[in-house]
């Protein structure tokens, strides 16, 4: 499947719920996040959350950490058969580079 950057509110909510002390909230959120990670443009959605000043501060921090961790794992071309996360396409890499550069210059 494919995500779009309009999914940021949904993913943001899942990120917050994934750290809830209540397992009845946390566990379903973690399962849904794992499904999202397999979709293309997931990393762009994370970047949208990081950039969005209207997003919950904790969600922005968690999204930044997830983006860093997943980029470190999935940026290079690797076999993604059975992988927990979708490979980052060349188009998405270009988009993320531009947005990361812009965000670092604005900081």
| Beta-carbon contacts of residue 12 (< 8 Å; ≥ 6 apart) | 49, 55, 56, 59, 63
Which letter does DSSP use for residue 87 in this model? P
Confidence of residue 57 (pLDDT cuts 50, 70, 90): very high
Q: Rounded distance, CA 60 to CA 87, Å?
A: 22
pTM for this one?
Answer: 0.85
Q: What pLDDT score does 83 carry? A: 60
Question: Mean pLDDT across the stretch 69-86?
Answer: 69
Higher per-residue pLDDT: 82 or 24: 24
């Amino acid at each position: 499947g494919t995500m779009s950057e309009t999914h940021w509110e949904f993913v943001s909510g899942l990120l917050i719920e994934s750290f809830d002390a209540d397992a009845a909230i946390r566990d379903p959120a973690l399962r849904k996040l794992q499904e999202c990670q397999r979709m293309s443009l997931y990393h762009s959605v994370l970047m949208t959350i990081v950039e969005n000043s209207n997003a919950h501060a904790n969600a922005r921090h968690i999204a930044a950490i997830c983006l860093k961790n997943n980029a470190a794992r999935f940026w290079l071309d690797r076999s993604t058969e059975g992988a927990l996360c979708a490979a980052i396409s060349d188009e998405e890499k270009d988009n993320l580079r531009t947005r990361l550069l812009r965000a670092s210059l604005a900081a």
